[in-house]
Structures are given as C-alpha cells and as structure tokens.
Amino acid sequence: MRRTMESPCSQPPLPVECLSRYHRSKMPDLVLLLILLVPTMSSLPAAHCDNNNDDVGFQLTLTHVDASTSYTKPQRLRRAIARSKARAAALQSLAAVASPVVDPITAARILVTASTGEYVVGLAIGTPPLYYTAIMDTGSDLIWTQCAPCLLCVDQPTPYFDAKRSATYRALPCRSPRCGQLTYPACFQRVCVYQYYYGDTASTAGVLANETFTFGAGAGNSSTKVVAPNISFGCGSINAGDLANSSGMVGFGRGPLSLVSQLGPSRFSYCLTSYLSPTPSRLYFGAFANLNSTNTSSSSPVQSTPFVVNPALPSMYFLSLKGISLGTKRLPIDPVAFAINDDGTGGVIIDSGTSITWLQQDAYEAVRRGLLSAIPLPAANDTDIGLDTCFPWPPPPNVTVTVPDFVFHFDGGANMTLPPENYMLIASTTGYLCLAMAPSGAGTIIGNYQQQNLHVLYDVANSLLSFVTAPCDII
C-alpha cells in the first residue's frame, strides 16, 4: 500500500523549507508540534536490519475489536458493516490516487481510513519490553504505536511507549533506506519524520525509528518467544482517531515496512473462528504458518492460488478470480468484472480488515439473481442492518428452503467453498436471512466474514495464497 519515494531532504534543510514541498499549508499545526518534539528523541545511526531466518516462528492470539464490549449481536453486526463500508470505500479509492503526481497528503488521508481493522494482536516493544495490543492489518504496511511525551493522543489500554526508557530505541536518519520507503518522508535535524492522515478525524505523526520487538509471549500466545531487533516503526506522538481499544497498528501488507517484510520468513497464516464467537482466533507466523498439519473438519484438500501484482497498489493482496458458483450452478459473470483495470482500479483483494465481502456491481447482481432463483421466498431489504438481499426467516412450515454453497473459483483451479453460514447471516432484530455481501462499483474485496473457519496462509515469498477448511476454535 505504501509507494516507495526518495527522501525530499537529502540535506538537512530548515524544516519549513523541507515541509513546504508537501503542501505545508495543509498540515502546519501538526508538523510544527512535531518539530518541537523531535529534538527530545534520541537519534543515533541505525543498525542494519536483517531478521530473516527460516527457523523463526510464533503464534499469536487474534481478538475481534468488539469481542470484549457489551454490544448486542445486532449492534456488533451493524458496527462491522459500517466499518466495512468505510474501509471498502477507502481501499477502492487507493488506486485512483496511486500516482506520483497526486498530492501525497490526499493519498495519505485515504491510506489511514483504509487501515481501520477488525482484529488486534498482542506484542511487546522496547528493552525492557512494554506489552500492548495493536490492530492487525493486511491492507497496510506501517507499524506504529503512540509514544510519550504524547502531545495529542487517543485513549489506549496501556501506557504510551517512552523511547527514553528503552535501551534499544534508535531514531532513523533521513538518509536511511527505511525513511525513503515511507509514503512521503520528511526530516528535521537529520531525523526521519513521518505523518499520515486517516480520513478527516484520524492521523498519526512522529519519528520513524528502529526498536526491538518481542512476539509470542503473554497471555493466550504460544510458549515460543521471539525477540526481533531493529524493526522499523512509527513512534507517534501526535495521533487522533479510533484504535479500537488498542495501542497502535501492525501492517501485514507486501510493502517493505510491513512486519512480514521486515521480520521474515515472509509467510503468515490465520484461522478465524465463527463470527461473534467468544473463542479468539489464531495468527501463525513464519515456521508456524503451515497448513500441512491443519486438523481439518472435512476431507477438503489444501488449495492454492497465486497472488497478482497490481503495479498501482503493490502492497495489497490481489487474487485472480475467474468466477462464482451457487451450488453446482456457475453464475453468468463476465471475467472482466474481476480484472484489474489499466489505471489500477478494480481487481479482487483478500483482506482481513474488511468484515463483509464487497462484490463488483455486475457480479453482485448475478449473485442476487442466483439467490432469488434458489430461495423460494420473497426478497426484502434490511435497512436496520444495512444489507439489501434478504429473505424472511424462518420460512413458512410448508416451504422447504435449501441454501446452496457459495464458491469462489480462482486461478490455478483453487475453489474456495463457503457454506451458508459463511455468506448468509440472520439479523435477529428483523428475523431476515441476509446475504453478507454488498455491491461495489470499483472492485471486489473478500472480507473476513467469508473467511470463517478457513485456515488461510499468505506465502509472500512465493506469492501464493493457500487455504483449507478447519475448525478454527480448536486448532
């Protein structure tokens, strides 16, 4: 999701002159506060960051952002759909601004909106380690947390990270390769400074630094603890928005600043439990990310399909979708509905941070017609929950209804078969059975609701997505 750019400050110019190249008129207050803050940070030459090790592996717990709240089931569904709408709109707008001539602040505002996620993970930062939770996001790259002294921060459940108390914190110089990998880098007194806007109400700004991260320790995680030095992250002291009761964000995208790219080996997997289940999900990294020993609930084989590179959005996980079936019936959808357009828009993304699936408009209409044909009940809209392909439920006693499986057909012959509970939901306030998908005018995003009880492996090094049906609550 991050586009690599050369640092605009090859020399340490005055901050105002440097930042004027990035339309300082649009961000003066935040940057001036940041400039006041930077001299208080320790700035030393960065050590070489090379954590790639084929033997590295650990397991983490994934917790849904609403898991510990008092929201009712209908409220949680409405919240998830609302988040999904905002995220889908942002992800679908990224390619439209992914051009070197586009105002980088406009692009960054969209990037932050796209980073609102659905699951949080636990990890630790610094020496001695400070444990905290962060949003896991397969749709972005930057790792960041809120840092003290916090000039403008949002509430979080753990103390702000204090760089002065860590023996391993190192601010990165402007000439660092990592600094050049930011969406748009800036510098002050040779220190690399970043700033991202996430929509109109969310933002993060601070210093790009290297630090030691600890994974796999803490409640609910595996006994294997991995300590990784020299992980580049954003130490944000000016932040706003919603962190879903966490303390930052961890990008799992394909870009150079993501955790996957920095830590290595470049593979991870997750197994998402049933939606609204009290049982947390699992995230596996490196050597632990392996589907061969998955305790499957059926005889379904592991299936694989290659990732597709979208030059406009190289960090996103695009797939080549060939078609959709309902049961044994292949729907009449032109494959061009799933293609990446010449301008980088369109295509098919798999994303853990979007709740329901967003289907390209023509594909959605084909699915809707297929369901209307397969389900002998009158169609309805559920304006309460925000879905528009619904049926009264339960059906009348004299009506037999069989909801077919839903199948995504991918390149390479891989078929992702979804049982009804993975693509239909019951809205308890209205009693409707609804399609947990929505129409999109700019592409397709396969969300996490459709990934329930699938063990999904992202093999970034080999550019391959693999998946298999699994009982995620017990593996």
- Quick: pLDDT tens for 82-135: 776 766 665 555 545 544 444 444 443 444 344 456 899 999 999 999 999 998
| pLDDT confidence of residue 40 | 43
What are the beta bridge partners of residue 468? Answer: 455
Q: Give the model's pLDDT for residue 87.
A: 65
pLDDT band, very low/low/confident/very high, at 15 (cuts 50, 70, 90): very low
Query: Which DSSP helix (H) or strand (E) runs through 439?
Result: strand 437-440
Residue 473 bears catalytic tag: no
| CA dist., res. 435 & res. 372, Å (int) | 11
List all residues 6 or more positions away from 412 whose beta carbon is below 8 Å from its beta carbon: 304, 305, 306
The active-site residue, picked from 54, 141, 343, 351, is 351
Taking a C-beta distance cutoff of 8 angstroms, is the pair 130, 161 a contact?
yes
Q: Which residue blocks in 214-360 are alpha helix, DSSP H?
A: 259-263
Q: Which of 66, 137, 141, 382 is catalytic?
A: 137
Contact 267, 64 (CB under 8 A): no
The CA distance from 4 to 6, in Å, is 7
Residue 229 to residue 210: CA distance in whole angstroms = 8
Share of the chain above pLDDT 70, in %: 76
Task: Check: CB of residue 414 under 8 Å from CB of residue 303.
Answer: yes
Is 351 assigned a catalytic role? yes
Q: pLDDT, tens digit, for every residue of 285-298?
A: 988 899 976 655 55
Give the residue-averaged pLDDT of 236-252: 84
User: Residue ranges of the alpha helices (H) in 215-267?
Assistant: 259-263
pLDDT of residue 107: 45
Q: Per-residue pLDDT tens for 404-445?
A: 999 999 999 999 999 999 999 887 666 889 999 999 887 899
Looking at per-residue pLDDT, the higher value among 147 and 9 belongs to 147
pLDDT over threshold 60, residue 458: yes
Q: Is the distance from CB of 436 to CB of 424 less than 8 angstroms? A: yes
Say if strands 318-319 and 303-308 run parallel, antiparallel, or are unpaired: antiparallel
Q: How many CB atoms lie within 10 A of CB 361?
A: 15
Residue 344 is predicted with a pLDDT of 84
Q: What is the pTM of this model?
A: 0.84
Q: Give the pLDDT confidence score for residue 129 in this predicted structure.
A: 94
